[in-house]
Amino acid sequence: MMKLTPYPEYKDSGSPAAPNIPGQWAVHRCRYLFQEVDERSKDGQEIHLSMSQKHGLIDSSKIDKWRLQSESYAGGKVCQNGDLVLNRLKAHLGVFAHAKQSGVVSPDYTVLRPVTDDNPRFFEILFKSPHFITEFTKSTKGIVKGFWRLYTDDFYSIRAVVPPPEEQQQILKFIDSLTARANKFIRNKRRLIELLKEQKQNVINQAVTRGLDPNVKFKPSGVEWIGDIPEHWEVRKLKHIAAMKSGDNLTSDQIAEAGAYPVYGGNGLRGYFTNYNKDGKYLLVGRQGALCGNVHRVEGKFWATEHAVVTDVRSGILTDWYYYMLAVMNLNQYSESAAQPGISVEKIQNLRTALPSLEEQEAIVSHIERETATIDYTISRAQREIELMREYRTRLIADVVTGQVDVRGIEVPEVAEDELLALEEDTADADDVIDDEGDMDETD
């Protein structure tokens, strides 16, 4: 995006996270930059601030999705505009945020009040850079990884690099401009991917519901979702096309990161196990959760858990054709709400669909794979470009806040905060996690 140069002069900082810093920068232990405060809310009437892994501390009333929600925030920690707030359990993951307004946060958080005139937002970004996250990881204490904590005294001992105030402001302006441009790039690529996915789905829908012969005569199928079908096609219930049965239970302790055989759940690969319960080519349908009804093709020896519906096609049915047919049927629409969404195997098996001959199934699969190959390549390339842009943005921001590149003389336009937020929301992943009780949920 641009060519940047180093500062003309560097010095040894004594900080493992940034060993060499510009000559005019300072290094201070965090105890001389922040002081922990523990002011508690008496009635919980302050604005409740939730921690978003992507957006920092935000007003809970502006959030339309919740993971955890308390009836009262009395006893929560009060923070002021400009305070730096961290989740002690997730500090080693870079879960820091500066408060843009006063409010109340989880009592499990640590509230740190600046004791200098330095910009707390600079330190929020600095502490999220990879080398500082490594330092926080070294300073955490605990036996089990999920319960590592960064205690205040250990935070105080970490050395932070401190540019002069005017440079902090220029660095933040540069980062805002960089972020706005990078997010716009990502947003445009995501829109392209969505258009390509729609194009691919149209190719599949046309082939599996209308066939490949443009001159064929049609007849009513009697199935509402599919409409007319080629007159020589049959209509059958799914139970006459494939057998469907849930897999076998495995506890999380039995699933390892590596092993002899892959373990598949309802949403794909979960890990590995020492044994297998299926050998061959199957379709796996997600049985529970928000993504229930999704379909995966799996081949070889593997273990299917109880969260996956193992689908074994009958004689005269091509597995790959059935994969595309199920994808068109969108089985998720038949989920039933209970404690969590789920699909009933019996209900799914009684759904009806159109069935062409085996010869036509083979032709349909060949057509789909030929017509969508270029689309898949373009989608994969766009996704890789998004990954590269994120990596570039992360690396460049880390270089800027640690003084590895000089941005003092660069003119950058002002970026409105709402513009940054709108762009970031537009590019945010669907699994952005809102944490209201001090323990970020990092489920897939």
In a domain, 395, yes or no: no
Q: What is the pLDDT of residue 299?
A: 94
In a domain, 127, yes or no: yes
Domain boundary among 330, 354, 378: 354
Angle between helices 120-127 and 130-139 (to 10 degrees): 80
Q: How far is CA 47 from the centre of its chain?
A: 27
In a domain, 244, yes or no: yes
In a domain, 246, yes or no: yes
**Claim to verify: residue 416 and residue 307 sit in the same structural domain:** no
pLDDT tens over the chain, length 444 residues: 567 899 999 999 999 999 999 999 999 999 999 999 999 998 888 899 988 767 788 887 766 544 445 556 888 999 999 999 998 888 777 788 999 999 999 888 999 999 999 999 999 999 999 999 999 888 888 776 667 888 999 999 999 999 999 999 999 999 999 999 999 999 999 999 999 999 999 999 999 999 999 999 999 999 988 999 999 999 999 999 999 999 999 988 899 989 899 999 988 899 999 999 999 999 999 988 878 889 999 999 999 999 999 999 999 999 999 999 999 998 888 888 766 778 888 889 999 999 999 999 999 999 999 999 999 999 999 999 999 999 999 999 999 999 999 999 898 877 766 666 554 444 444 344 445 444 333 333
Q: Which domain holds residue 285?
A: 234-354
In a domain, 178, yes or no: no
DSSP 3-state of 43: coil
**Claim to verify: residue 145 and residue 30 sit in the same structural domain:** yes
Domain boundary among 290, 324, 354: 354
**Claim to verify: residue 250 and residue 112 sit in the same structural domain:** no
Q: What is the pLDDT of residue 71?
A: 58
In a domain, 322, yes or no: yes
| Total domains in the fold of the chain | 2
Domain boundary among 354, 381, 414: 354
Tokens of 86: 């961290």
Q: What is the pLDDT of residue 339?
A: 63
- Alpha-carbon span 267 to 278, nearest angstrom: 17
**Claim to verify: residue 18 and residue 144 sit in the same structural domain:** yes
Q: What is the pLDDT of residue 52?
A: 74
Is there a contact between 310 and 282 (Cβ–Cβ < 8 Å)?
Answer: yes
**Claim to verify: residue 135 and residue 277 sit in the same structural domain:** no
**Claim to verify: residue 16 and residue 141 sit in the same structural domain:** yes
In a domain, 61, yes or no: yes
DSSP H or E run through 242: strand 242-246
**Claim to verify: residue 145 and residue 238 sit in the same structural domain:** no
DSSP 3-state of 294: coil
**Claim to verify: residue 274 and residue 148 sit in the same structural domain:** no
| Tally of residues, the chain | 444
In a domain, 210, yes or no: no
CATH number at residue 45: 3.90.220.20
Q: What is the pLDDT of residue 70?
A: 54
**Claim to verify: residue 410 and residue 347 sit in the same structural domain:** no
Q: What is the pLDDT of residue 428?
A: 43
